[in-house]
Amino acid sequence: MKRLFTRALVLLALSLASAAYAKPTEGDVAPDYLGHDRHGNDVRVSALHGKVVIVSFWASWCGYCLKEMPILAAIQKKMGTADLQVVGVNHDDDRDTFTKIQRRWKDLDVILTYEAGDNRISKPYGVNGLPYMVMIGRDGRIAHIHVGYGEDMLDDMLGEIQDLIDAPAPSAATPAAPMTAAATSQAP
């Protein structure tokens, strides 16, 4: 009986852990925490409510990622920050490599954050390969997820971004709650 009870507890714990990090899908409220900006401030989806948020997970070894970030920065510059915010999350580099690239990209009009090997940002988003982009609508819900894409998808993705920007802003009601309590408890 004791063995059966122990097994039941283990199964319950595993199912709760996997539910806390279920891969989000289109329509889900986006996980809130996106890391720290260059000034050490928290970057959160909830603080960007009312804007379209493009979250691009990248690494220095991902050639397309390195091409994509300047393109996203150009879109950000053209659109401004009233309706759009691009956040680039460095997912798989050491701190020194990230810092060098961040210095090189200092003039890009995007927010760059760094994920320190603990997957606290990428795990709630279900990142399983690069490049990995999540487009979040003005309401804080995931509109599109793209994984392992290339230049041939660029026109479609630009159209999706424009459609999200053209969508009406949500009412001044409170932003939707993060996907899970566990996702927000991950923030430092």
Residue 132 pLDDT: 97
Closest among 188, 139, 142, 187 to 167, alpha carbons compared: 139
**Which residues lie below 8 Å from residue 120, measured CB to CB, with a gap of 6+?**
33, 186, 187
What are the pLDDT digits (tens) for 117-146?
899 999 999 999 999 999 999 999 999 999
Does 152 have pLDDT greater than 60?
Answer: yes
Reported as a single tens digit per residue, the pLDDT across 4-25 is 444 433 333 333 333 445 789 9
Domains of the chain: 24-185 (3.40.30.10)
- 2: confidence class by pLDDT, cuts 50, 70, 90: low
